[in-house]
Amino acid sequence: MATQIKFGTSGWRAIVAEEFTFANVRRAVTGIARYVVSEKPSGAKVIVGRDPRFLGETFCAMAADILGAHGITPLVIADAVPTPTISYAVIRSGADGALNFTASHNPPEYNGIKFSTPDGAPALPDVTKKIEAQIAGLGDTAPAIQNSKIPSQSLDPRRMYLDRLKELVDLAVIKKAGLRVGFDPLWGAARGYSDSLLTEAGIEVKAVHDHRDVLFGGHAPEPDDHLLEDLRSQMNAMKAHIGIATDGDADRFGIVDQDGAFIQPNYVIALLFDYLVESRGWKNGVGKSVATTNLINALAQHHKVDLHETPVGFKYIGELIKADKIAIGGEESAGLSIRNHVPEKDGIIAGLLCCEMVARRGKSIKEQLKELFAKVGSFYPVRENFRLTPEVKAKFTEKLGNDPTEFAGQKVVEVVRKDGLKLVLADGSWVCYRLSGTEPVVRAYTEARTEAGLSKLGAAAKEWIFQ
């Protein structure tokens, strides 16, 4: 029986040689090709790109052949390329979509496919459902490729994307401040992007993990606290003011302060929101997923701008960017983009804007966060994953259907069901539960106004799952 190929919040991902096989890739790409033809029967162009993972070049060549056989012109990017660069290339080239072979921050044994629509945004559920239906209609195998092909064309979007970043980021401010920057692309697609842009502008930057390694050092290419020790060492050696990192396809960011402290993404999004209002005067709104810190809610109220709370999945933030409803939108899982930019997560611009913010304000990120708390109050968020047995999962799933009136000894003042179950408590703290669609895991997001309150709320959140 053929693998059921499902596109989740950010495409289809699977383990290479288990489900991510040549046969299943052919089925997935054929399904995408048939969808594109159903939308545009002739003259369609689709960009084909990849991150540096194992067999990426082979998968791109296969995809180009399949697209060409369906009368679609493949625009193939030869080198590994960041996901946000592909997004920008779709918009600039007027392509009818993009097919990107990447598993983003997943471990090296994974690969995946992201599909972007002609607006450069991640495909919304109505599109992915149509693609899944096309794939399902193929049965166990995709048909053989016919000889009638449209040859692929080459595309190199690196320069136009970097030129766009020059328009969005004040590199002169960074240079004037004499900022020293450590950079960790984690062997990923941002190599030669963030560092080259800063170097061209006369800014001192030194990179680690600046070569291709399809095993990403033997772990997930995720710019998280415990994987950034080499970046910290480089920062210490050069006395850097900030460290910036990106994941495998450069759509996620990691930020390290000058003292080596990791700044969690919730805080980075809030700080940059406050900074963009201050430095750009953008007061059109802010977007955040339901699981992202309410520090952003407090800042929206403080700056008197509209707050848009979305389900988890950056495609929903992307829709707000396209409509110019927000200055910045982000998710606690380290994805953000800004006004007049791509409707896709961009870990490169996140890091560069943090450099600009530190340079212009002349203060460390922790100092800026302390000032932010003084302005609108303190917020302490955390996320934990809990594995569930089938029995516990069944019982907990049933429990999620109810609306509790009390939680952790407090009154529930609001129940939010945009995505999972979010309970807002009387003191402004909250808990949000989301069941994984791919594994027996529940994600529990908690946020309290004090660190002591977070510890208490986190314990209550865990107990509620298993009681």
The residues, any chain, with a CB within 8 Å of residue 175's CB and separated by 6 or more, are 201, 202, 203
Q: How confident is the model at residue 3 (pLDDT cuts 50, 70, 90)?
A: confident
Tally Cβ neighbours within 10 Å of residue 18.
11
List, for residues 359-416, the tens digit of each pLDDT value: 999 999 999 999 999 999 999 999 999 999 999 999 999 999 999 999 999 999 999 9
Q: How confident is the model at residue 147 (pLDDT cuts 50, 70, 90)?
A: confident
List, for residues 259-309, the tens digit of each pLDDT value: 999 999 999 999 999 999 999 999 999 999 999 999 999 999 999 999 999
List, for residues 9-33, the tens digit of each pLDDT value: 779 999 999 999 999 999 999 999 9
Domain ranges of the chain: 12-156, 160-376, 380-466
Query: Beta strand 180-184 with 410-416: parallel, antiparallel or unpaired?
Result: unpaired
- What are 202's two structure tokens? 């006369």
| Three-state DSSP class for residue 387 | strand
Class in CATH terms, 160-376: alpha beta
DSSP one-letter code for 245 = E
Query: Beta strand 180-184 with 328-331: parallel, antiparallel or unpaired?
Result: unpaired
**CA–CA distance, 320 with 104 (Å, rounded to integer):** 23
**CA–CA distance, 171 with 164 (Å, rounded to integer):** 12
Q: How confident is the model at residue 1 (pLDDT cuts 50, 70, 90)?
A: low
Class in CATH terms, 380-466: alpha beta
Asked if residues 52 and 108 have their Cβ atoms less than 8 Å apart, the reply is no
Q: Do domains 12-156 and 160-376 have the same CATH topology?
A: yes
The residues, any chain, with a CB within 8 Å of residue 158's CB and separated by 6 or more, are 79, 81, 85, 192, 193
Closest alpha carbon to 335 in 314, 315, 355: 314
List, for residues 201-223, the tens digit of each pLDDT value: 999 999 999 999 999 999 999 99
**CA–CA distance, 24 with 135 (Å, rounded to integer):** 9
Out of 3.20.20.70, 3.40.50.300, 3.50.50.60, 3.40.120.10, which CATH number does the structure's domain 12-156 have?
Answer: 3.40.120.10
* Better-predicted residue by pLDDT, 193 or 142: 193
The total number of residues written for the chain in this structure: 467
